[in-house]
Amino acid sequence: MLPQPIPPPAPVIFEASGLVKEFDDGRVAALQRVDFKIASGEFVALVGPSGSGKTTLLNMLGLLDSPSSGSLKYRGDEMAGLPDPSHYRAQEIGFIFQSFHLLGTFTVTENVQIPMFGQGLSAKARAARAAELLDSVGLSHRLNHFPVKLSGGERQRAAIARSLANRPGVLLADEPTGNLDSKNAAQVMELLAQLQREHQTTLVLVTHDREVAAHASRILTMRDGRIISDSAAS
Amino acid sequence: MTFLTIIFRDLWRRPIRTALTMLGIAIGIAAVIALVGMASGYEKGIVKQLDVIGIDVIVSNMEGGLMPKAFDESLTDQIAALPDVAEITTVLMQMLSVEDAPMIMVSGREWGGFTWEKLTVVEGRMPHDGNERAVVLGTMAAEMLQKKVGDSIQIEIEEFSVVGIVDGHSLVENGAIILSLPLFQEASGYEGRVNFIDIRVPTDAGNERIEALCTKIENSFEGIRAVRASEVVGTSQGFKIAKAMSWSTSILAIIVGIFGVMNTMLMTVFERTHEIGILLALGWKKRMIIGLILAEAAVMGILGGIIGVLLGAATLAILGTLPEVRGLLEPDLSLDLILKAILIAVVVGIASGLYPAWRGSRLSPSVALQG
């Protein structure tokens, strides 16, 4: 039997070295010299107790915040030097939040269209893309409902559809099941894992729930602003 | 969904606040329409009057308020001797309170002068001569004063007979009491004085000769102003004061509107900090956030402007019926004024939104998301 060829290693998408984030004039150190690499298409869970720096790190990956010192690169380019952070957030990243962050004055389909503004799409194309995404998360019957009329699980599915609006290469999810019951949490995690597999998206997920983290292929455990372990999920 | 949908959905989120803010702008714009429309109506009335009478050059004193200060009528003979003066006549015009009319134009005219020519008798007759203690009333003046032919009328302390009702073919003429110059000079205490000398030039006199005549008059008599009739409105001190007052009052009202919109938009930005954070996290550029806030402010400006124009038009219509105004001017609501008012409203909206938009665009996404 001929030996199977070894697949080439996936390119590194994020690379951090000596990453530090301080608040309150240096009195609070949220991240302390953090180093890691994340490859394209990886599903990474960031786990750890509250205050361990998970969300701070996720915000930096999404360019919602900037490091106090150290280096954070995206596809080999220093993120601090990216010319247009909003372009990066719109085109490269999809955010999923614990509290969904759907806009209450807009319907579900309108919420999904929000990230598509400024991307050169016509209103018709935006509406069609939103309908397609909502169909893919099982919400085609809820297009014109306002978020307040949706269950928690439906809201998170709508938020997931929104995060995929501009076909991002990276999904950043901050406690996506934190506000859901176990049944809805399981459904949302299945959906996320399925989307990650289908689209070969890099998924970085923050959670303090070990069961949720078990969906990932790799787990980075954080404590007191440091990564204390980097392991493959069981 | 379009960008406009987002704007209107945001404005509709707090309908009462949006409506009150727009009302603030609307009141400012209504003030512009009403006050400037009144001033403009007054101007247009005078222009029409001069046009109907056929005056080419008006000589008056440089000083004075709404009416120029009276001067010695002996100047008339000296001006009449100048070249290019074909016809000349003198007028003493005052705004007076006469009987029940709080303010009415009284025009004392040199008997036989061309200013009597275009008056068409509607009822009664013209005075027999310049010494008859009689007046004719413009149609609107007769209506305002509720006088008919045969009635008497008291001007200052003198009493006159109403011998005719006339159509002067312009609002100002129709809103006036017209009588012989010496009678009015005596009644008003301005014996030997007039405040206008009206000149007609030969029909073949072109612009250059008229200008030359004006310059000659001004150079020959100190403190005297001679302007072409078509330019009298633009150069008159009284009109300038009226215009300045109407605009300055309007601007005050507009400033109040500006602060109203600014306050609303700032509150909107503070209230929507979290939402702005979401938009930034979803990839909205700062200039899109600025555009959204400015567009919302501009829409409030446009809608407030339209409401203001309607309110102003209604105010003008009401003002036009007041006894203090009727006969003196016809409120003027021109397309030019409407467009100017709406443009002001849009500029007010955008200007008021600048600071809130700048504040909104400077929010840090991560901090805003917590807000």
Check A90 against B283: CB less than 8 A apart. yes
pLDDT in tens, A67-94: 999 999 999 999 888 878 888 888 899 9
Cα distance between residue B280 and residue B366, in whole Å? 9
Write the ipTM. 0.89
Number of other CB atoms surrounding residue A197 within 10 Å = 12
* B365 chain-A contacts, CB cut-off 8 A: 64-65, 89
Lowest average pLDDT, out of A179-188, B121-130, B132-141, B359-368, goes to: B359-368
Give A205: exposed, middle or buried? Use CB within 10 Å, 0-12, 13-18, 19+. buried
Q: CA nearest A59 in B: which residue?
A: B366
Radius of gyration of chain B (CA): 28
Average pLDDT, chain A: 90
Check A62 against B364: CB less than 8 A apart. no
Which of B325 and B166 is assigned the larger pLDDT?
A: B166
pLDDT category at A160 given cuts 50, 70, 90 is very high
* A90 chain-B contacts, CB cut-off 8 A: 282-285
Percent of chain B with pLDDT over 90: 35
Residue A1 has pLDDT above 60, yes or no: no
Cα distance between residue B270 and residue B272, in whole Å? 5
Lowest average pLDDT, out of A211-215, B59-63, B77-81, goes to: B59-63
Q: CA nearest A171 in B: which residue?
A: B282
Please list, in sequence order, all residues whose beta carbon lies within 8 angstroms of the beta carbon of residue B251, skipping any fewer than 6 positions away: none
Residue A159 has pLDDT above 90, yes or no: yes
* B284 chain-A contacts, CB cut-off 8 A: 86, 90, 114-115, 117-118
- List Cα–Cα distances, B102 to B34, B99, B153, in angstroms: 20, 8, 14
pLDDT at B237: 66
pLDDT category at A144 given cuts 50, 70, 90 is very high
pLDDT category at A15 given cuts 50, 70, 90 is very high
Give yes or no for B371 touching A (CB within 8 A): no
Give yes or no for A111 touching B (CB within 8 A): no
pLDDT at A140: 92
Give yes or no for A105 touching B (CB within 8 A): yes
Residue B115 has pLDDT above 60, yes or no: yes
Nearest Cα neighbor of B231 from B60, B369, B360 is B60
Cα distance between residue B229 and residue B58, in whole Å? 6
Lowest average pLDDT, out of A223-227, B127-131, B240-244, goes to: B240-244
Check A114 against B280: CB less than 8 A apart. no
Q: E strands within chain B?
A: 57-61, 71-72, 87-98, 101-109, 120-124, 134-138, 152-155, 158-167, 176-180, 193-194, 196-200, 224-228
C-alpha B119: how far from its chain's center?
A: 25
Check A105 against B13: CB less than 8 A apart. yes
Give yes or no for A95 touching B (CB within 8 A): yes
Residue A218 has pLDDT above 90, yes or no: yes
Helices B237-271 and B273-281 cross at an angle (nearest 10°) of 70
The answer to whether the CB of B114 falls within 8 A of the CB of B198 is: yes
pLDDT in tens, B194-245: 999 999 999 888 888 999 999 999 999 888 989 888 777 666 666 777 778 8
C-alpha B351: how far from its chain's center?
A: 27
pLDDT category at A39 given cuts 50, 70, 90 is very high
Check A106 against B369: CB less than 8 A apart. no
Please list, in sequence order, all residues whose beta carbon lies within 8 angstroms of the beta carbon of residue A176, skipping any fewer than 6 positions away: A96, A97, A98, A156, A159, A160, A188, A189, A192, A205, A207
pLDDT at A5: 65
Q: CA nearest B274 in A: which residue?
A: A101
pLDDT at B274: 85
Q: E strands within A40-87?
A: 43-47, 69-74, 77-78
Residue A2 has pLDDT above 60, yes or no: no
Residue B13 has pLDDT above 90, yes or no: no
Residue A221 has pLDDT above 70, yes or no: yes
Average pLDDT, chain B: 86
- List Cα–Cα distances, B308 to A118, B21, B43, in angstroms: 34, 12, 23
Nearest Cα neighbor of B199 from B78, B359, B34 is B78
pLDDT category at A115 given cuts 50, 70, 90 is very high
pLDDT category at A4 given cuts 50, 70, 90 is low
The answer to whether the CB of A169 falls within 8 A of the CB of A92 is: yes
The partner residue sitting opposite A59, judged by closest CB among B9, B12, B366, is B366
